[in-house]
Amino acid sequence: DTGVSQNPRHKITKRGQNVTFRCDPISEHNRLYWYRQTLGQGPEFLTYFQNEAQLEKSRLLSDRFSAERPKGSFSTLEIQRTEQGDSAMYLCASSLNSGGVSETQYFGPGTRLLVL
Amino acid sequence: AQKITQTQPGMFVQEKEAVTLDCTYDTSDPSYGLFWYKQPSSGEMIFLIYQGSYDQQNATEGRYSLNFQKARKSANLVISASQLGDSAMYFCAMRERNTGGFKTIFGAGTRLFVKA
């Protein structure tokens, strides 16, 4: 399967612990996006990369969150000192930069985080 | 103000019937893209269909078609011949220019139930 993959699929952690999620995009895609989705809502943008450069970060991305894409392939999203409010689905998407409004993002299965 | 509004939290349809899922959007930019995604209970967002603001014809992809009414700023998804496997959350999204590039914004979704 050559779609977007995410690991782990589920993560349960205690408040105050650090967690790291991984996303492997579709191989030829140069853009990678992270979204957060809470119950009953659509995905909310967190950040995105073009190759290895992180080009934009949402105000939702507090300083406890950090994302990397060191070689322009896979990406990691780390949350430090987790809080119960961080409980959500974290979705990764990738795309080929079309430079405009037609750019279609393809999503992975998500990582569901529960902070106890 | 909401950029993407999906007014139907839940919809029921009989198997083999057609169903329309509503989506209205708000933008002052003449160039934008509209997308529909399906999210089954497994969590993955599946791309269904795209419509560009300058496209003259309504987009179609198999059993999916987009009823694009530009003056009304609506982009309703029509699913023909519903199948049990169509039961899922459906998200409407818009991609438009913003400071620093482009952004994709999602609505809150509509849950579709297909009855046998």
How do residues A72-103 score in pLDDT, each as one tens digit? 899 999 999 999 999 999 999 999 987 789 99
pLDDT of residue B1: 60
Give me the residues of chain A with pLDDT under 50, please: none
C-alpha A29/C-alpha A6 separation (Å) is 15
Is B102 within 8 Å of B27 (Cβ atoms)? no
Q: Which of chain A's residues have a Cβ under 8 Å away from the Cβ of B45? A: 43, 91, 93, 107
Closest CA in chain A for residue B91? A42
CB contact under 8 A, B35 and A104: yes
How do residues B13-61 score in pLDDT, each as one tens digit? 999 999 999 999 999 999 999 999 999 998 899 999 999 999 999 999 9
Distance from CA of A107 to the nearest CA of B (A): 6
Percent helix, strand and coil across chain A, each to the nearest 5: 5, 50, 50
For the record, the structure tokens of A67 come out as: 């994302």
